[in-house]
Chain A
Amino acid sequence: MSPRKPNEEPVLELKNIHKSFGDRQILRGVSFNVYAGEMLGLIGPSGCGKSTILKIICGLLEPDEGEVIKRSDEIGLVFQGSALLNSLTVRENLAIALQRRKLSKTEENRIISERLKMVGLEGYEEYSPTKLSGGQQKRTSFARAIVNDPKIILYDEPTTGLDPVMSTIIEDYMIELEQKLQAACIVVTHQYSTWTRAGDRILLMHAGKIVWEGTPEEGINSEDQYMKQFAHATREGPMLAGAFEG
């Protein structure tokens, strides 16, 4: 994380976000800020609304209440399920994100090759996403999300389904991009190595609210009942109590 200037404005601000699907209340007042050059780790049990928060940030969902303030329009999102366009090739999937910049063909191809090389997918340009493995799709999705050098980068489970070596490589790229682009980043992850290595600040969600906040080191050593249970992956604690009983 880069040192923060006094009075620095956050690139991304969430204020008291509420969201329900039907009569199920998913988010019950979520507020946080993300600054330039900072990686926020958003963790929490499955189904607690992490992906929903990311979708609200990039405008795919409207919050029922509350406000999102973005100080940049250039947003990259790595979808949990990759969300590659299956009718296009890998190259075209990146090209379509570049479309609005109206670059020359050579410039476009240069950027695409560079990004694919970064995620270890050079030579896969003309592949259909359906012919890639899950991890390769994830990396293509990663390359596509960052192709425009976004100032806000949202990663939804970027390392799930990757082998440990590739996870480390992707985590390193996330840290590098955060610094290089001075981007405000959020990583949603269940993977211990990802939030401990890449996260500058961790938010733990439970039942539609943020129940703990701190650095990864603080998280690992925390005595907070929620964070302790999550960091140590135990059954004993307030989370999911009774979820799999009866």
Chain B
Amino acid sequence: MTTSAPRDKRLPNPYRMVEDQFAIGVQLLGQVLILWFQTLSYMVRGQIDLKETVRQAYMIGVLSFVVVGITALFTGFAMSLQISRELVQFGADTAIGGVVSLALVREIGPITAGVIVAGRVGSSVAAELTTMMITEQIDALKVMRVDPVKFLVVPRYTAALVMIPTLSVYAMFIGLIAGIVIAQGAANVPPDTFMDSVKQTILDRDFSVHFLKSIINATLIIMFSCAIGLHTRGGAEDVGIATTRTIVWTMISIFILNFVVTSLTYAPR
């Protein structure tokens, strides 16, 4: 084509690339923070569209139950098998329930639900909002003086705040069931013994941290997908780019913040 700009033939400068990526990242984090505050300010004023929130809760939560269930079941199987094998060698069969449940409540439950929902929901929200941007649906809202944050982000975030903790708890229970099955089958530990050990090990605090982590995950998933969606312009190919970008950013931030919470709450003193 004669009309296109001449392609830059020089090799990419790695320093410049890092610098550009850093600037883009900082900009995105700024957009996420602003969006989060805007969303919260609607929510504290009670300006939540209930009908739309219920619809979103269905899309985010109900449609994720099967995937989260299957993932939690097999993660639970694999993890319990490893733990049982090691503990049996030390003759600590009765502690299997405790160790498995600690791992589930503190780490595996929130992470599994978070990652699966990030993949399923984060990507679809980013794709939906980006499509709305490029087909001018968001512009139409603005012309009608409807704030896209109130109309699109608030119901999705409210729904996620309810459904993602629910999915985390559910992932934890499915994992526990997997643990009971493996403990019985592979280490001959009866379910009663397993559950006694669970009760002795798990503290109330573990549930609070579990809840905190899933709230953080819900925030990361919805805010990254919405911020990216609402700032993408261009054509159809940008939908794919926005989706990938959302998954990368949410997954990375879920793992990092999960570690931050763990280190703040469980670091040995």
Chain A residues proximal to chain B, CB less than 8 Å: 55, 58-60, 75-77, 79, 81, 83-87, 96-97, 99-100, 144, 246
A96 engages B137 (CB within 8 Å): no
B148 to chain A, nearest CB (A): 11
Q: Which residue of B lies closest to A99 (CB)?
A: B146
Which residues of B lie under 8 Å from residue A87 when comparing CB positions?
128
Determine the distance from Cα of A16 to Cα of B143 in the docked complex, in whole angstroms: 23
Say whether B44 faces chain A, with CB atoms less than 8 Å apart. no
| A interface: dominant SS | loop
Which residues of B lie under 8 Å from residue A60 when comparing CB positions?
139, 142-143
Determine the distance from Cα of A84 to Cα of B140 in the docked complex, in whole angstroms: 8
Q: Which residue of A lies closest to B140 (CB)?
A: A83
Determine the distance from Cα of A84 to Cα of B135 in the docked complex, in whole angstroms: 9
The one of B2, B132, B140 that contacts A79, using a Cβ cutoff of 8 Å: B140
Which residues of B lie under 8 Å from residue A97 when comparing CB positions?
144, 146
Which residues of A lie under 8 Å from residue B136 when comparing CB positions?
79, 81, 83
B135 engages A81 (CB within 8 Å): yes
Q: Which residue of B lies closest to A145 (CB)?
A: B143
Counting from the closest, the 5 A-B pairs by CB-CB distance are A83-B136, A83-B140, A97-B144, A77-B143, A60-B139
Say whether B141 faces chain A, with CB atoms less than 8 Å apart. yes
Complex interface residues of chain B between 223 and 269 (CB less than 8 A to chain A): none
Chain B residues proximal to chain A, CB less than 8 Å: 2, 128, 132, 135-137, 139-146, 151
A191 to chain B, nearest CB (A): 21
A83 engages B137 (CB within 8 Å): yes
Which residues of A lie under 8 Å from residue B137 when comparing CB positions?
83-86
A58 to chain B, nearest CB (A): 5
A100 engages B145 (CB within 8 Å): yes
Which residues of B lie under 8 Å from residue A96 when comparing CB positions?
141, 144, 146, 151
Which residues of B lie under 8 Å from residue A83 when comparing CB positions?
135-137, 139-140
Which residues of B lie under 8 Å from residue A59 when comparing CB positions?
142
Determine the distance from Cα of A90 to Cα of B143 in the docked complex, in whole angstroms: 17
Q: Which residue of A lies closest to B134 (CB)?
A: A81
Determine the distance from Cα of A75 to Cα of B140 in the docked complex, in whole angstroms: 11
Which residues of A lie under 8 Å from residue B141 when comparing CB positions?
85, 96
Which residues of A lie under 8 Å from residue B132 when comparing CB positions?
85-86
Listed residue (A76, A81, A83, A84) with the most chain B CB atoms within 10 angstroms of its CB: A83
Beyond A96-B141, A96-B151, A99-B146, 10 additional pairs, beta carbon < 8 A? A60-B143, A77-B143, A83-B139, A84-B140, A85-B137, A85-B141, A97-B144, A100-B146, A144-B140, A246-B2
Determine the distance from Cα of A30 to Cα of B136 in the docked complex, in whole angstroms: 24
The one of B140, B142, B143, B145 that contacts A85, using a Cβ cutoff of 8 Å: B140
Determine the distance from Cα of A27 to Cα of B241 in the docked complex, in whole angstroms: 30
Determine the distance from Cα of A55 to Cα of B140 in the docked complex, in whole angstroms: 11
Determine the distance from Cα of A31 to Cα of B141 in the docked complex, in whole angstroms: 27
Determine the distance from Cα of A101 to Cα of B89 in the docked complex, in whole angstroms: 72
Q: Which residue of B lies closest to A129 (CB)?
A: B137
Which residues of B lie under 8 Å from residue A79 when comparing CB positions?
136, 139-140
Q: A81-B135, A83-B135, A84-B137 are in contact. Are A75 and B143 (CB under 8 A)?
A: yes
B143 to chain A, nearest CB (A): 5
Which residues of A lie under 8 Å from residue B139 when comparing CB positions?
55, 60, 79, 83
